[in-house]
A = this chain, B = another copy of it.
C-alpha cells in the first residue's frame, strides 16, 4: 500500500469486493494524484449545480448526499463511509444534481477528473468495479424510495439504522451492534422524511423495545436481531457490498 496515501486502502478493499483488480489495477489506483483535505463536520464538498473538476473520495469519517425542495426542507439520499467515492457520477454527468456534505470531521481525497478518466480507460477491471459500485448505489436508492414511501416511522428508522450498520460492518469499520451513530436526530429525520420531533419519539419507542440503547446523547444498536425484525431488513439489495 502506498505509504503516502495509506487510506486509499479502504477504497481498494471495497473495489476488490466487487471485482478482483489484479496488481496493475491496484497500482494504478495507488498512483492516482491526490490532494488531501480535512473537512469539518457540516462542510459542503459538492454543491447542487456545480460542475466538479475533482473527484471526491471519503478516506475517514462520514458524509451524506442531499437534495432540497424550494421551501428549504432537506432530504438526505445516502450516507457514506470511508472508502466510498462521493461523486462518481460526475465523471459521466458533469453537473451535480445534489449536494455532498461531511457529517463528521472527514478526511477527503481530491482526485482530478482527467486522472480518473485515464484510470477508467486504462484499467477495464477498475472501470467495471466503478460501474458495479454505481449500480449498487442505485439499488440502495430504490430501497430508500420503498423505505420512505411505504414503511411506518418505526420500521423506517430501524431500516435506515440496519443499512448503516451493515454497510459499516462490510467496510471493516466494526460490528453492527454497539457502535455510536455519527449523526444527529435531525439527520435521521432528513434521511427518513420525518421531523426531528417524531424521530425523537420513535427512537424512544425503539429504546423501550430494547432494540436501541443510548449512551448520553449517542444512539447505539443494542439488539441487532430485534432491530432487523422491526425493519424487515434483508440485505440482498446491498449486493454483497455488505
Contact = CB atoms under 8 A, between A and B. Distances in A.
Nearest to A74: B150
The oligomer's copy count stands at 2
A239 interface: yes
Contacts of A138: 89, 134, 137-138, 141
Interface residues of A, number: 41
Given A70-B232, A232-B69, A232-B70, A93 B139 contact: yes
Contacts of A236: 49, 95, 97
A143 interface: yes
Interface in A66-110: 67-70, 73-75, 77, 89, 92-93, 95, 97-98
Contacts of A73: 150
A211 to B, nearest CB: 17
Contacts of A95: 236, 239
A177 B35 CA distance: 49
Interface string A103-144: 000000000000000000000000010011011111101111
